[in-house]
Structure 1
Amino acid sequence: MHAALDVLLVEDDELIREATRLTLEERGYRVRTAADGVTGLALFRERHPDVAVLDIMLPGLNGVSLAGRIREESGVPVLLISARNDPVDVVMGLEAGADDYVTKPFDGPVLVARIRSLLRRAAAAEQPAGEPGLRFGDLVFCPVSLTAHRDGKPLALTTTELKLLSEFAAAPGTVLSRDLLLERVWDYAWSGDTRVVDVHVQRLRTKIGRERIETVRGFGYKLRP
């Protein structure tokens, strides 16, 4: 484990916060904690962590709002945790800019696996440039540098959006099922929960052009060549 990696953990329940902190520190992470959203935002700006883990129900500034504020300032991976599995909460969090979510109660190893997955995606986005871009209409994507341009202007894509676009660009015109995208982009099965794919595809569409990714009803999505 990379001891230098920093995790920001914002959780108002002291027992959960401390148990989670100990679990992460046992895996070699350096953990900074906060009990409310306002303090969490200040700590994020001060410490610049590698990943942020946020409870949704926080006093002062809730986790969804905090995720949105972080996303306005940084591309750092954001993982939401919640005691509720309400689809509205999940979708709101993902649309605000979160990359992943875990419902309580969760096992420590599951949370660690999710964090490692997010960090792998973030690391992939830092690969050096050097390969010609792939062109799809007004969209140009470089699979080595993981950069995208539309009409000659750079696109600010999150690591999850870049990974999604990479999968689509590797097989333009091919229908990719939601389950396949879950496995490839999120590195593990979500037990059939495909909402996360739909939300992130919608977010990607708003940036690269809604017509660029086609929905194939009953099957999945494909990138139009």
Structure 2
Amino acid sequence: MPTRPRLHAPRTAPLTFAVRLLLIGVLFCASGCQLPALIGAIAQNEEYQSKKEVLARYPGLEGKIVAVLVNADLAVQYDYPQATPGIAYGISGALATHANCKVIHPDLVTAWQYRTPNWHAMAYGDMADSLNADRVVYVDLLEYRLTPPGNRFNWEGVAQATVSVLERDGFDPDTFADSFTVTAEFPKVPELTQYEATADQITRGLQQTFVQQVTWLFFDHIEPKYPDKYRPELDPDVNH
């Protein structure tokens, strides 16, 4: 088996060094009793911005023909009609770019779903045969919402799904080769009101976050070491 090329987390950028110099100036102006706390805060914040290499949890898409199939209940489709197509496009594009596989265009998969109204009842192996796909990434949306239950005034986006893989050439093509639970939340700002952000902004942010977490299952990547503490706006390697 060929050795996987290792990824490397970005080095500290010159901008970070300049910020350090500025902070050193602040330190000289601070009283002696404040120095340990300030130094500790700087070190802690830098650690929160650190990244790590994570290997694919399922690397078996490489070199395969892949179909991305997104399923949601009727309530989600009615309340958020752009949820399933947006997620399907996002996952398909990311896998085609990063997972070294050929992805069937999501419009063709959607057309297949409409032509095959009983696809939910099909055996998984028959599903892969009908799509003519070596692998099917099956995303079963369990929850998708932009606001808290019973509260239409605040934003609290959540997308949760079971992400499974069908292998047409697997030992048993009628069972999932692997399954994962993925939960994405956006925004991370508590009690953000509808006066402070639009539905389009929350939708884009939630879908981007969800798509990233789903597709990271399938290829080696660099991700924040502390995702709950990481601040992308302070990262010089992120396109703002």
Q: Which TM-score tier does this pair reach, normalised by the shorter chain?
A: under 0.3
Report the structure number with the largest CA radius of gyration. 2
- The two structures have a TM-score, normalised by structure 1, of 0.24
TM-score after normalising by structure 2: 0.23
